[in-house]
Amino acid sequence: MRTSLFFLLGLGAAVGGMLAPLEATAQAWPARPVRLIVPFAPGGAADLVSRVMAERLSATYGQQFIADNRSGAGGTIGYELLARAAPDGYTLGTASDSSTLLPFTYRNLPWDPRSFTGIGLLTTQPLVLAVHSAVPATNLKELVAHARTVPGKLSFGSSGHGHPQHLAGEMIKLATGIDMTHIPYKGGGAAIIDLVGGQIPIVVLGSSPVIPHHRAGKVRILAVVSPTRSSALPDIPTLDEVGVKGVDLAQWMGMAGPPKLSRDLAKKLNAEVATILANPATRKTLEGAGFDPSPSTPEAFEAKMREGVARWEKLLPKLKIRFD
C-alpha cells in the first residue's frame, strides 16, 4: 500500500513537472517581439488600423508588436505568409474584407481565409466615391452628366485588382452607366496620392485615407458606398439615397492568427483587443480617421470570414467580371 502511494505521488510530481514548463510558456507569452503582417502598403486603411493596434499592444504586453507591411499581388503575399506561419503566437495578421474575395480573383491560391484563426473584428468603415477637386461635379448626378461628355476618358483607382473597392467601382459603373477604366493600386495610400495629385480623377476607397483630403478641399467625396451614412461624414449621402440601389459594401478589418493557433491564446488576445478598442483615446483616434471600432469574439470573426466567401461566391457570377 505504501509503495503504491509513493508511486502515485511520484507520478503526480512527474506529470506536474512536465506541465509546469508548458504553463510557464503560455503565461510568458509574448517573450519576444510579435510580427503583425499587414498585407497592404503603408498609408492605407489597413496600415493605419494595424499601427494603432501594434502600438497599443506593445504598451499592454511590454513587448514590441511590429506592423510589417507585406504588400503585393493584391494582398495575397501577406495572407500567404500568415497562412504559412508557425501557430506560436509570434506571427499575427490584419485580415480585411478583401481576404474573402481574393480566392475568387486569383486562381489556385495556397491559402484559404476560412482556415485562419480568428482573434476578433477590429473596425468597420464605409467605402466612398471621391473625385479630384478639378472634376466638375459636386454630386453623383453631376458626375454622371460629366462622364457622358467625355466618353471613355474617365478612370477610377482602387486599393487593388480584385478588391472589394474595385468591385464596388464596377458595380457603380453598371448602375449609373459611367464609362470608367479601373486603375489598381498597391493599397489605398498610393491611390489617394494620385487622386490628390490629379493623376486620376476618381477613386473608390475606404473612407479613412480620403477624409483628410476631403476636409482640406483637395478632393470631394460625392457618396458613401455603404448602406448607411458615415458618422465621420454625416452630410454625405449614400448611393442608395441618390438612387443607386444594390451597392452596399462596407470595409471591415480584423486580427487573425495562422491556422491552428491556440484557441486559449486567441481568446487572451481578443480580451486585450476589446479593452484597447474600448479605450477613449483609441476610439478618438480611430473614429477621427473614419473607422468605427467594432470588437467581436474570435468565433464571430471566423463566421464573418466564412460569410464573406459565401457572399462573393454568389455575387461574382452576376457581375460577369473577368479577372484573367
Model pLDDT for residues 13-63, shown as the tens digit of each residue:
444 444 444 444 456 899 999 999 999 888 888 999 999 999 999 999 999
- 324 versus 302: the higher-pLDDT residue is 302
The average pLDDT across 104-130 equals 94
**pLDDT value at position 195?**
98
**pLDDT value at position 27?**
61
Tell me phi and psi for residue 262, to 5 degrees.
-55, 130
Q: Residue 160 — pLDDT band, cuts 50, 70, 90?
A: confident
**pLDDT value at position 256?**
98
258, 86 contact by CB (below 8 A): yes
> In this structure, are strands 65-69 and 34-38 parallel, antiparallel, or unpaired?
parallel
Q: Residue 110 — pLDDT band, cuts 50, 70, 90?
A: very high
Q: Residue 324 — pLDDT band, cuts 50, 70, 90?
A: low
Q: Which domains does the chain have, with CATH numbers?
A: 33-124+251-319 (3.40.190.150), 126-242 (3.40.190.10)
Question: Does 215 have pLDDT greater than 50?
Answer: yes
**Cis-peptide into 30, omega within 30 deg:** yes
Long-range interactions of 108-112: CB distance < 8 A, separation 24+: 109/76, 109/80, 110/80, 110/83, 111/76, 111/79, 111/80, 111/82, 111/83, 111/84, 112/83
- Here the cell at position 166 is 474595385
**pLDDT value at position 24?**
40
Question: Does 98 have pLDDT greater than 60?
Answer: yes
CA distance 148 to 17: 77
Q: For all residues of the chain together, what is the average pLDDT?
A: 89
Residue with cell 473614429: 287
Nearest to 107 by CA among 134, 78, 136, 74: 74
